[in-house]
């Protein structure tokens, strides 16, 4: 099954008809290379993007070039459910590694939403979870130490990947370079490197060949003071 459907099913129960309609809407796909901008700040996007494989990110930059990644999209996530309301976009969206992207034209979204209320509700749920995640990241950034932030991110990604069936054995693809990881966490890349080594040294994780393995999820969650409530999973797919 498409991860997009899997993800939406977490937000609302879907009928076979709903699922079929989603499948039709996301039939148009394209491959995107690594580090490719999908949407640039100021654009007026005409289609919605959904991530089928790989990881994409939202980011904002400052005049001097400092970059902050303000969101990660894993398979199953939509990038821009609602941009047409705001006219222009206030941030950019780019792939991290290579990605497969579903393109949903505006009229297809509109039809999907108006004809399938459950799907509309599920997409609404997903965007509220995104917003809650943003708040949790802000909490992290403001109050957690570097190592806690990093641990917290890994805990979050573990659950999000698990949700779409991509985290067997607490191991999943993690295509971010350390520089990108530091842009997510608001650290310098040097410090990100040292923090990563601390986590490795404590035998909590292994990161090799763009695969991240979490050895002891419970210990990592305790270190991070991770509480999954903000993901609103309701135990539908946890473990």
233-237 contact pairs (CB < 8 A, 24+):
233/10, 233/159, 233/163, 236/10, 237/10, 237/162, 237/163
Residue 179 binds DNA (CB under 7 A)? yes
Q: How far is CA 46 from the centre of its chain?
A: 21
The interface with a copy of itself within residues 175-234 (CB under 8 A) comprises: 185-186, 225, 229-230, 232, 234
Residue 33 binds a copy of itself (CB under 8 A)? no
Residue 178 binds DNA (CB under 7 A)? yes
For the chain, state the CA radius of gyration: 18
* Min separation Cβ 81 and a copy of itself, Å: 10
Q: For residue 167, what are its two tokens?
A: 């985290």
**Closest CB to DNA among residues 109, 157:** 157
Which one, of 78, 239, 83, lies nearest residue 168 by Cα?
A: 239
Q: Which stretch binds DNA (CB under 7 A): 10-18, 40-48, 172-180, 226-234?
A: 172-180
Residue 113 binds a copy of itself (CB under 8 A)? no
**Four-point Cα dihedral 97, 101, 106, 108, nearest 10:** -160
**Closest CB to DNA among residues 25, 56:** 56
Residue 238 binds a copy of itself (CB under 8 A)? no
Instruction: Count residues binding DNA (CB under 7 A).
Output: 17
Residue 124 binds a copy of itself (CB under 8 A)? yes
Residue 206 binds DNA (CB under 7 A)? no
**C-beta of residue 134 within 8 angstroms of C-beta of residue 91:** no
Residue 129 binds a copy of itself (CB under 8 A)? yes
Which one, of 84, 77, 83, lies nearest residue 53 by Cα?
A: 77
Strands 211-214 and 56-61: unpaired
Residue 194 binds DNA (CB under 7 A)? yes
For residue 151, the surrounding DSSP H or E stretch is helix 146-163
Contact residues toward DNA (CB under 7 A) are: 145-147, 177-179, 186-191, 193-197
Contact residues toward a copy of itself (CB under 8 A) are: 41-42, 58, 60, 62-64, 66-68, 70-71, 82, 85-88, 90-91, 121, 124-125, 128-132, 134-139, 141-144, 185-186, 225, 229-230, 232, 234
């Amino acid at each position: 099954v498409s991860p997009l459907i899997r993800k939406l099913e977490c937000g609302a129960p879907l009928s076979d008809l709903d699922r079929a309609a989603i499948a039709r809407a996301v039939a148009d796909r394209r491959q995107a290379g690594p580090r490719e901008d999908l949407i640039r700040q100021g654009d007026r996007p005409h289609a919605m993007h959904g991530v089928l494989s790989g990881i994409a990110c939202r980011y904002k930059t400052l005049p001097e070039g400092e970059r902050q990644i303000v969101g990660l999209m894993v398979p199953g996530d939509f990038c821009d459910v609602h941009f047409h309301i705001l006219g222009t976009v206030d941030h950019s969206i780019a792939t991290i590694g290579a990605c497969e992207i579903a393109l949903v034209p505006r009229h297809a979204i509109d039809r999907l939403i108006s004809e399938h209320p459950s799907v509309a509700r599920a997409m609404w749920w997903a965007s509220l979870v995104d917003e809650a995640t943003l708040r949790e990241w802000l909490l992290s950034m403001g109050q957690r130490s570097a190592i806690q932030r990093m641990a917290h991110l890994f805990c979050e990604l573990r659950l999000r990947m698990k949700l779409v069936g991509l985290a067997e054995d607490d191991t999943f693809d993690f295509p971010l370079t350390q520089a990108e990881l530091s842009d997510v966490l608001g650290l310098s890349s040097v410090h990100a490197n040292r923090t990563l080594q601390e986590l490795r040294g404590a035998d909590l994780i292994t990161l090799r060949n763009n695969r991240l393995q979490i050895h002891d999820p419970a210990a990592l969650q305790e270190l991070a003071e991770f509480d999954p409530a903000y993901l609103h999973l309701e135990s539908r797919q946890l473990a």
